[in-house]
Chains A and B, each alone.
Chain A
Amino acid sequence: METLSTLTTPDWLFYLFAVITVASAAFVAFTKNVVYAAFALLFTFFGVAGLYVLLNSDFLAVTQILVYVGGILVLILFGVMLTNRSISVDIQSETLKFAPALIVTAALLGTLAGFYTVTDWFFGGPGAEITATSTAPNIGNALVTTHALPFEVASVVLLVALVGAAMIARRDK
């Protein structure tokens, strides 16, 4: 049993992951090429996983990579490939009403950022230290004790969703 040691993470790690996340998310939002957007989304998911590690949730970071990169991104790429008649890689998506959308989004971002910066958070301190022990045992315990009902409901939801998706996408009804 390892002792509970705290780690000091350098600040530039946060900035690295934040820049990767925000820059690739901006690329997803502004590029016209659907395939480029899908691959930029890959970098966003990895950047977010890095932020999860810095937020002391290593199990969620691994889950993020497994589920988002391994599952959802592959599904999205299948969707890109199956919904285009052309065989070229250059699959375009035009932007509708670029200026109004940009104005609305900029207003939203300004409002959120201003609200987050101005608010005097009750817990604005340094927060819990990042520990070297995994959070997976705690999550496992919580899933079968305090969160058992949501866990079971989620499993049924997943089953229904996957059976439903298979039914909807079936070629011959």
Chain B
Amino acid sequence: MHITLTHYLLVSAALFSFGVFAVISKRNAIIVLMGIELILNSANINFLAFSRFGNLNMEGQMAAIFVIILAAAEAAIALAIVLNIFKRFNTVNVDEVSTLKD
């Protein structure tokens, strides 16, 4: 059976679901960030798959490049925030840092 658009979409759906699972079920903020990276990667696979199979040549790839740029910025900011949370609360478990004011 030849590889079609649906094959790539199914891989990206699996990646998206695992990312969502990591985001909603993990206590450690670092693994939540990893889940976000999985979700962004699945979105990128979708962009490129539609770009190739829809004969849109460059448009999907340009969108994917900007997704990668924003993922880099997001990772830097998020880890800086996580480091600050760890400095203040001495933990990065997302269920223990729910206070707004101490």
Complex Cα distance, B73 from A125, in Å, reads: 36
Q: Does A89 contact B (CB under 8 A)?
A: no
Q: Is the CB of A28 within 8 A of B38?
A: yes
Q: Is the CB of A55 within 8 A of B55?
A: no
B14 to chain A, nearest CB (A): 5
Q: Is the CB of A105 within 8 A of B21?
A: yes
Report B7-27 CB contacts with A as 1/0, cut-off 8 Å. 111110111111111101111
Q: Is the CB of B72 within 8 A of A72?
A: yes
Interface residues of A in 58-92 (CB under 8 A from B): 59-60, 63-64, 67-68, 71-72, 75-76, 78-80, 82-83, 85
If A83-B86, A127-B5 touch, whether A109 touches B80 (CB-CB below 8 Å) is: no
- Interface size, chain A (Cβ < 8 Å): 81
Chain B, Cβ-Cβ closest to A111:
B13
Complex Cα distance, B20 from A96, in Å, reads: 13
Chain B residues, Cβ within 8 Å of A102: 21, 25
Q: Is the CB of A165 within 8 A of B79?
A: yes
12 chain-A/chain-B pairs, Cβ below 8 angstroms: A52-B48, A57-B64, A63-B65, A93-B26, A96-B25, A105-B20, A105-B24, A109-B14, A139-B62, A150-B66, A162-B73, A169-B80
Q: Is the CB of B4 within 8 A of A71?
A: no
Q: Is the CB of B52 within 8 A of A55?
A: yes
> Which of B8, B17, B92 counts the most chain A CB atoms within 10 A?
B17
